[in-house]
Amino acid sequence: MSLENYHFPSSRLQTTDVEAGKIPLVLVACGSFSPITILHLRMFSHAYDYVKANTNFTVVGAYLSPVSDAYKKAGLASSTHRLRMAELAAEEINNTTDFLMVDEWEAVQPAYMPTAKVLDHFEHEINDVIGGVENTNGQKQPVRIALLAGSDLIQTMSAPGVWSQDDLAHILGKYGAFVIERAGTDIQEALGSLKEWEDNIYYIPQLITNEVSSTKIRLAIKRWMNIDYLVPATVVNYIKEHGLYQDEDGSATAKLKGNAR
Ligand SMILES: Nc1ncnc2c1ncn2[C@@H]1O[C@H](COP(=O)(O)OP(=O)(O)OP(=O)(O)O)[C@@H](O)[C@H]1O
Ligand SMILES: O=C(O)c1ccc[n+]([C@@H]2O[C@H](COP(=O)([O-])O)[C@@H](O)[C@H]2O)c1
């Protein structure tokens, strides 16, 4: 896994027969995914349903883009592990909805890559290199790239000093964001200083809110608790096999392994 042997994943990108009259859309979720949870996957299902019912877009592909090791956030497993877990999770969701892919480009960067640059990378690969998509009338159309995020991430955009103003204008002005409600975030506050881009921000309430977070999963593992049904089953097994997120003495992993059926 390195930039030299990197290839942009497009196997699940719908490049032909896109419904004429619709705007083709690719959703990109950036984050740590340490580990990926079912809520990360649910973000895509929520967005897909919302887009279909409420907009003139049509989803032609979706990507998980795990952040690189240079992000150095507490609890960040190595990008090799996070990419593999994301792949396993994507395989699971694709049993029911066939559009999710994992892009390694951000994760393999030697330096931290701001989200604006990550979205530019998708724009380049999909619209410049692949050349957009073809609709049912045989016409070529550019794809709209958009950020998919939980409302907590959008709230950080209103917090001073976290994002550069130029990057915010670029992300929300050029690309836009689909924002999934997240328990504990006041959406009015989160969108407070982002008013000028409100036409490009789509807020998606959740009928069933759920507070699963990667932090809580890591905590549960440290407390020797079972994490079944909170992360995909294949990812649970991967975490056990590789002893991820364990205490220094390894006891949490030993217990998880002991619980394995
Ligand atoms: N329960 C959730 N509801 C809505 N959005 C979520 C939820 N969990 C994660 N997200 C969103 O998923 C994206 C990636 O999240 P990230 O990898 O930081 O997960 P996290 O669970 O917030 O991690 P951590 O607990 O390590 O901070 C972010 O946009 C975040 O807002
Ligand atoms: O580009 C930026 O300036 C920027 C500022 C804050 C956060 N981000 C991105 O937002 C994501 C946050 O993930 P997390 O796990 O810290 O919630 C991650 O992909 C970061 O690269 C990006």
Q: Quote the ipTM score.
A: 0.96
Strand ranges across the sheet with 100-102: 100-102, 57-66, 23-31, 144-150, 177-180, 201-204
Q: Please, are residues 256 and 240 in contact by the beta-carbon 8 Å criterion?
A: yes
In a 13 Å sphere around the CA of 44, the CA atoms on its Cβ side amount to 29
CA 223 to ligand 2 centroid distance, Å: 27
Is the backbone peptide bond immediately before 9 cis, with ω within 30 degrees of 0? no
Specify whether domain 3-209 bears CATH 3.40.50.620: yes
Three-class DSSP category at 58: strand
Pocket mutation for ligand 2, best pick of 153, 182, 213 (most atoms within 8 Å of C-beta): 153
Closest C-alpha to ligand 2, atom 3: 163
Binding site membership of 30 for ligand 2 (Cβ less than 6 Å):
yes
Q: Minimal CA–CA distance to 96: which of 36, 49, 150?
A: 49
Find where tokens 């409100």 sit.
198
Residues in Cβ contact with 14 at an 8 Å cutoff, skipping those fewer than 6 apart: 24, 60, 61, 99, 133
Binding site membership of 32 for ligand 2 (Cβ less than 6 Å):
yes
Write the CA distances from 121 to 18, 28, 116, 162, integer angstroms. 22, 11, 9, 21
CB atoms within 10 A of CB 83: 20
- Report residue 183: phi and psi, to 5°: -55, 135
Q: Looking at residue 34, what is its pLDDT?
A: 98
Helix H or strand E segment including 255: helix 251-259
- Radius of gyration over every alpha carbon of the chain, rounded to an integer in angstroms: 19
Closest C-alpha to ligand 1, atom 6: 150
Enumerate the β-bridge partners of residue 141. Answer: 133
Closest C-alpha to ligand 1, atom 14: 31
> What sign for the dihedral angle of Cα 214, 218, 220, 224?
positive
- Report residue 105: phi and psi, to 5°: -55, -50
Q: Please, are residues 63 and 50 in contact by the beta-carbon 8 Å criterion?
A: no
Q: Looking at residue 253, what is its pLDDT?
A: 52
Pocket mutation for ligand 2, best pick of 71, 170, 185 (most atoms within 8 Å of C-beta): 71
Ligand nearest, relative to CA of residue 163? 2
Residues in Cβ contact with 153 at an 8 Å cutoff, skipping those fewer than 6 apart: 31
* Ranges of CATH 3.40.50.620 domains, the chain: 3-209
Q: Which atom of ligand 2 is nearest to the CA of 67?
A: 19
CA 115 to ligand 2 centroid distance, Å: 7
| Averages of pLDDT over each 10 residues, the chain, 261 residues | 90 97 98 97 95 97 98 95 97 80 97 98 98 98 98 93 96 98 90 93 91 96 95 97 78 49 31
Q: How far apart are CA 148 and CA 135, in angstroms?
A: 24
Q: Please, are residues 97 and 48 in contact by the beta-carbon 8 Å criterion?
A: yes
